[in-house]
Structure 1
């Protein structure tokens, strides 16, 4: 359920905001147009909304500016602490994409740069779960790295390796980045309508709507 990656963020929590704001050359392409990507997620959300992998609260901040009722779900204690300092009035609970408890019934599930912590099998479970919990018209809106094909993923890893981006290559090899055909398959199998929009070289905006 992505929990095997939780401890990575004990260290990254201190530099995460610098990375997403373009100060880390190695991850610059991954986070290109970061604020616009988060805004696209926030603009598509409806209240009440559950955000998975809330991290340092950057997406939550945009959701709250739209006056949406937000509950954050975050498995990393260090990240929860940072978000509590930044957004003290936001409810943030310990949980993950598959195991979470909220008092309200969400009409939106959102996330940014986190869904790749799940295997494809776990992603399938997640979409099935969200389809059950959402009302008609409810949405799953995720922004995440998705590759056009396995071949394009391989080429990108080779490209980043040639650039000497050791940490990024390690991430791409270790975590569960999927492909456009696979994510479309998983969403439609859950009975949701799917729309994908490419946001930068790495990231797609994934919108899944319950009919």
Structure 2
């Protein structure tokens, strides 16, 4: 994952929770139904959970409340510090989607919210290949992330953001590695996962991959 994102995460850490709660108008649609999205991911997780992109620990908290064993991976020092303050007993280590310490405990579910798009498409494929090898045979992936039906849908969102004067959102949409449903489906299936998509808000889809 590009190291440039680490600086972005550190800068965003102090105001991230306010943003996800809808206090930043530019990102209001992106984080619409945020609590429901996290609850859905947490409820679909089973057994021992590996979480990528812990951020400030909001999904981690729900997983722990559900009685799950959670191993958290987060590249940003600023985000990790906030998450650890909220959840002092949680296991949260430095790492990212491709570079992380594999837990000794067999993994049942891999989860992530609002983070997988930080990987380029070829890196997404590399990550899924790695996850296929560390998951139990009955394991699954549950992600909630920004994905677009097609490139036209992405361009439409860029135009809408531009017309609203949402300059930061426009920059995000033009520079981050948001992909399409068809590409994401191909990447999962190439790595021997069946995959389903359910739209959760105008930007975010629930992506559930199960080992075939």
How does the TM-score come out when normalised to structure 2? 0.98
CA contact (8 A) 1:146 1:202 kept: yes
Moved over 6 A (4+): none
Query: What is the CA distance between 1:2 and its match in structure 2?
Result: 3.9
User: CA-atom RMSD, angstroms?
Assistant: 0.8
Q: Deviations over 1:114-161 (max 9, x none)?
A: 001000000011111111111122011110000000111011101101
Q: Is the 8 A contact 1:2 1:96 kept in 2?
A: no
CA displacement at 1:3 relative to structure 2: 3.0
Match of 2:106 in 1: 105
**Structure 2: 5+ residue runs without aligned partners?**
none
> Between Structure 1 and Structure 2, which shows a larger proportion of strand residues?
2
State the TM-score, normalized to the length of structure 1.
0.98
> C-alpha displacement at 1:103, in angstroms?
2.9
Partner of 2:57: 57
**Partner of residue 137, structure 1:** 138
1:11: Cα distance to partner? Answer: 1.5
Instruction: Say how many residue pairs are matched.
Output: 211
Q: 2:2 & 2:37 partners in 1: Cα distance?
A: 22
Aligned partners of 1:9 and 1:76 also within 8 Å: yes
Unaligned runs of 5+ in 1: none
**1:77 — aligned with what?**
77
